């Protein structure tokens, strides 16, 4: 399981943050990519964390620049076989984790 540090792009506060964001973009970081990824027993899972009523972002144009959306990226990954998960609470996240790594219901207790 690995995390994608894509949240840093939207949180540029200082010049140091801008430098770091530029490095991340230069090394291939893309907007819209979901937060967590894992391969387990031949299945690829993508997991997005949302807080409150926040929804998946969608493709949009801002200042003549395309910003890729989480919705479209998730759909593209699903077309290639990824299993999508979204959670909003710690309990939902824990259940997703258990469903991936301990799919036998008897082991989820």
Q: How many domains does the chain have?
A: 1
Contacts of residue 18, Cβ cutoff 8 Å, sequence gap at least 6 = 12
pLDDT digits (tens, 9 = 90+) for 11-64: 555 666 777 777 777 766 777 889 999 999 999 999 999 988 899 999 989 889
Using the structure block, give the residue that is written with the tokens 């395309």: 66
Q: What is the pTM of this model?
A: 0.75
What is the pLDDT confidence band of residue 2, given thresholds at 50, 70 and 90? Answer: confident
Domain that holds residue 37: 2-108
Q: Report the pLDDT value the prediction gives residue 71, as an integer from 0 to 100.
A: 94
Q: Report the pLDDT value the prediction gives residue 17, as an integer from 0 to 100.
A: 72
């Amino acid at each position: 399981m690995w995390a994608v540090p894509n949240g840093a792009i939207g949180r540029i506060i200082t010049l140091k943050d801008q430098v770091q964001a530029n490095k991340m973009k230069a090394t291939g970081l893309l907007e819209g990519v979901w937060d967590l990824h894992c391969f387990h027993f031949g299945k690829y899972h993508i997991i997005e964390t949302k807080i409150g009523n926040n929804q998946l972002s969608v493709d949009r144009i801002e200042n003549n620049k395309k910003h890729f959306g989480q919705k479209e990226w998730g759909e593209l990954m699903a077309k290639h076989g990824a299993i999508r998960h979204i959670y909003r609470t710690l309990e939902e996240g824990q259940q997703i984790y258990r469903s991936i790594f301990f799919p036998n219901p008897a082991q989820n207790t």
